[in-house]
Chains A and B, each alone.
Chain A
């Protein structure tokens, strides 16, 4: 069976690897190359800490487990052109200033029920874990299972392994989908026609545009994030550290600027600082507001950052679905068309399990989790935005708030 995967970011790479290992002939088509866009502009989070009980949490717990095995497998045997994933089971610490401590405590408790491990740290333990944290912090909660990869390298590693297993990576742009009698027959690229039995849309923030090429509708839009990277220094931050200020906030699909601090060190010695969310289309304008706000908030969490030199800043686009769940599975109408997009800020972490769900949808392989909540045909993905839980913290916002950019 020949499957075309559109998009060679983390999701496309994971799907290509899963499909190839399940026996399909895979052609991955990306107009920029491997890890050319969002996957090279993000942080590489593999988080469970930011998920409230629900389908995305189930997905994240399974993906967290899956990443550990996958990273070990990929790193154990590297083919030429396959970089190391830099997988680090570093754990995360969510911190709250005095106004937010109670909300954080109850959020953590709600997660215990579904198996997300966490432990509150007393002042002494917090100081030991993160000696450079501001003394104003009232509470820290340690999530031991949070992990990290270098997202661009991990994507390239999955791609290299897929190619090694027989997949083909083509740098080209898909300009049309070919659909005959309600069934996909392939894609048309700038260079010509590629026939396929199935097509998987892994185009990230452009997934909506790609769906339209097949006459389908997928409401996925870009949500801009920005990141600051410091110059290299001796290690001063030892876990992923996040501000709990998202917890208790009413979830929103708000287009206006939202920032929430995330800080971590990298093996290269730099410190990555985020995060911001804005719906500004694919624009690169107006960056001063999110960057300066991130800088201000991060300096409050880690005062040493005030005098730290910036090495570079950049931005990327998360793929945003209005009901805050990725779309994974068969298209509602067109046979042979599948989607795997809309992971917002959690794409890297959820990649391997997304790949497995696509192998299930396309080839009938066993599903690692219940695929139903993620189906592209679900009502909440079509029609009115903002359908979803009311009142409670929007878990995907939380997840979204914690995807950052990598060095």
Chain B
């Protein structure tokens, strides 16, 4: 067990917890993270630029950072390939984001913890390509990392409790949040979260957090609308207003309920999409729920490969910390009956109850009702909804090649699920041989052998 080489991919809450746990169990740990500073999205920060009010659970973060003193942490490290075998081999490139000729860093592992997190899911909305429309996460990221706001008057819309910290962060950098618009209705929220939601959040230790967010909204007198959605963005050279419309339980927009809200920016967040590519590339089985399938020790279908955090199920930072701890112990070789699992397993059980309630905000199939034939669905290639309809009969790959949806720079990361919802056909998990952001020369540098003629 001692000296087992554990590599952790991702330094958000799950990855950091896994690394700390593995270090404490005597493993030789390497953390690879693409960000310049560890913390992932939840703890995204800059020592000088980030407003302390926007940082949560900072004591926990500091403790993890201390525990990581026993690990090798590579930031600005972009993992582009993982190869199975004994040992596993992880290929990363280290250097400023997207720089040319970054340093190749192959790392060998006896066990791997994949904790690559999630990104916002943003549903297409007519007008969503106008300057001023971003994901909810982007509004928070530029606030936290850069101390900047995206506009003077922002509508925050979508679904899920994440909208609240987003609204708060916009306020902290001097923006005005015109409205927060949540698709789930009050009735749905009550049914989903229970009549006394504060009890559940207390159990999860989240009551204080919730109070802080709601307090911010109240102080700014920001309306919080339920059972509604932004169904159109208006403007010519940039956002000028949005249409907010009531939606049914399945998210279908209700005609006749449109309201216009003036704003110059829109932050949209309709839940989260797990970042599965590294897990898929190494061969982890993905469940029918579209998350990495894991066992009780966060073990995946690939021997010696573990997964934790949002890629195993959207649950937020607290679930990620618990899962990461379990995964780190397991990767380090700690036997399942060991007492060190007791606390993180209990925390994981508690947080699973909380995470299950997030289903309350899941995307309803009626959302496609707010699309026009003209609405861009694939942002990278500017593919409109009407084009997708024209190739509905073709095989998924053929449709993509015909319309180019999902073949642009982001390779379907933003539009993939939306294209599936519109065409009604799963796109299928392409096992990408190379995860993105590698230059041809960097790939060539890994070629062994002499290729002179």
Chain A residues engaging chain B, CB cutoff 8 angstroms: 30, 32-36, 40-41, 80-81, 83, 97, 99-100, 150, 152-153, 155-156, 169, 171, 226, 228, 230-232, 245, 268, 273, 284-285, 287-289, 291-293, 295-300, 305-315, 406-407
The reply on B190 being an interface residue by CB < 8 A is no
Chain A residues, Cβ within 8 Å of B396: 33
Q: Are B447 and A287 in contact (CB under 8 A)?
A: no
Known interface pairs A81-B394, A314-B430. Does A288 touch B446 (Cβ–Cβ under 8 Å)? yes
Chain B residues, Cβ within 8 Å of A312: 407, 411, 432, 434, 436
The distance in angstroms between the C-alpha atoms of A115 and B390, with both chains bound, is 42
CB < 8 Å neighbour of A40 from B84, B391, B397: B397
CB < 8 Å neighbour of B397 from A81, A152, A289: A152
A-B contact count (CB 8 A): 138
Known A32-B397, A228-B440; further 9 A-B contacts with Cβ < 8 A: A32-B395, A36-B395, A152-B402, A268-B404, A306-B439, A309-B98, A309-B440, A310-B443, A313-B434
- Find the B residue at minimum CB distance from A270: B407
The distance in angstroms between the C-alpha atoms of A100 and B397, with both chains bound, is 39
The distance in angstroms between the C-alpha atoms of A226 and B432, with both chains bound, is 12
Chain A residues, Cβ within 8 Å of B337: none
Chain B residues, Cβ within 8 Å of A99: 453
- List 12 A–B pairs whose Cβ atoms lie within 8 Å, in order of A's numbering: A33-B398, A80-B390, A150-B401, A153-B401, A285-B84, A293-B449, A307-B439, A309-B437, A310-B438, A310-B440, A310-B443, A313-B432
- Find the A residue at minimum CB distance from B83: A288
Q: Are B81 and A83 in contact (CB under 8 A)?
A: no
Chain B residues, Cβ within 8 Å of A32: 395, 397
Known interface pairs A291-B433, A310-B438, A312-B432. Does A33 touch B402 (Cβ–Cβ under 8 Å)? no
Known interface pairs A34-B395, A35-B394, A156-B394. Does A293 touch B439 (Cβ–Cβ under 8 Å)? no
- Find the A residue at minimum CB distance from B397: A40
Chain A residues, Cβ within 8 Å of B67: none
What 4 A-B pairs have minimum CB-CB distances, sorted nearest first? A33-B395, A306-B441, A292-B447, A296-B444
Chain B residues, Cβ within 8 Å of A156: 394, 398, 402
Chain B residues, Cβ within 8 Å of A34: 393-395, 398
Provide the main secondary structure of the chain B interface. loop
- Find the B residue at minimum CB distance from A100: B453
The reply on B86 being an interface residue by CB < 8 A is no
Specify which of B407, B411, B437, B440 lies most central, judged by the most chain A CB atoms within 10 Å of its CB.
Answer: B440
Chain B residues, Cβ within 8 Å of A314: 430, 432-433
Q: Are A36 and B398 in contact (CB under 8 A)?
A: yes
The distance in angstroms between the C-alpha atoms of A307 and B437, with both chains bound, is 11
Known interface pairs A97-B453, A313-B433, A407-B407. Does A295 touch B440 (Cβ–Cβ under 8 Å)? yes
The distance in angstroms between the C-alpha atoms of A311 and B411, with both chains bound, is 8
Q: Are A307 and B430 in contact (CB under 8 A)?
A: no
Chain A residues, Cβ within 8 Å of B440: 228, 230, 273, 295, 298-299, 305-310
The reply on B219 being an interface residue by CB < 8 A is no
- Find the B residue at minimum CB distance from A308: B440
- Find the B residue at minimum CB distance from A257: B449
The reply on B301 being an interface residue by CB < 8 A is no
Chain B residues, Cβ within 8 Å of A306: 100, 439-441, 444
The reply on B431 being an interface residue by CB < 8 A is yes
Known interface pairs A34-B395, A307-B100, A310-B443. Does A226 touch B407 (Cβ–Cβ under 8 Å)? no
Q: Are A291 and B434 in contact (CB under 8 A)?
A: yes
Chain A residues, Cβ within 8 Å of B394: 33-35, 81, 156
Chain A residues, Cβ within 8 Å of B432: 312-314
The distance in angstroms between the C-alpha atoms of A287 and B433, with both chains bound, is 7
- Find the B residue at minimum CB distance from A287: B433
CB < 8 Å neighbour of A307 from B91, B393, B441: B441
The reply on B339 being an interface residue by CB < 8 A is no
Specify which of A40, A292, A293, A307 lies most central, judged by the most chain B CB atoms within 10 Å of its CB.
Answer: A292
Contact mask B80-95 → A, CB, 8 Å, 1/0?
0101100000010000
Known interface pairs A35-B397, A273-B440, A312-B432. Does A83 touch B453 (Cβ–Cβ under 8 Å)? no
The reply on B59 being an interface residue by CB < 8 A is no
The distance in angstroms between the C-alpha atoms of A40 and B397, with both chains bound, is 7
Q: Are A406 and B433 in contact (CB under 8 A)?
A: no
Chain A residues, Cβ within 8 Å of B447: 289, 292-293, 295-296
The reply on B423 being an interface residue by CB < 8 A is no
A150 to chain B, nearest CB (A): 7
Specify which of A80, A171, A287, A308 lies most central, judged by the most chain B CB atoms within 10 Å of its CB.
Answer: A287
B397 to chain A, nearest CB (A): 5
Known interface pairs A152-B397, A310-B443. Does A83 touch B402 (Cβ–Cβ under 8 Å)? yes
The reply on B101 being an interface residue by CB < 8 A is yes
B107 to chain A, nearest CB (A): 15
Q: Are A36 and B404 in contact (CB under 8 A)?
A: no
Chain B residues, Cβ within 8 Å of A268: 404, 407
The distance in angstroms between the C-alpha atoms of A35 and B443, with both chains bound, is 30
Q: Are B401 and A307 in contact (CB under 8 A)?
A: no
The distance in angstroms between the C-alpha atoms of A40 and B84, with both chains bound, is 27
- Find the A residue at minimum CB distance from B99: A307
Chain A residues, Cβ within 8 Å of B438: 309-310
Q: Are A153 and B453 in contact (CB under 8 A)?
A: no
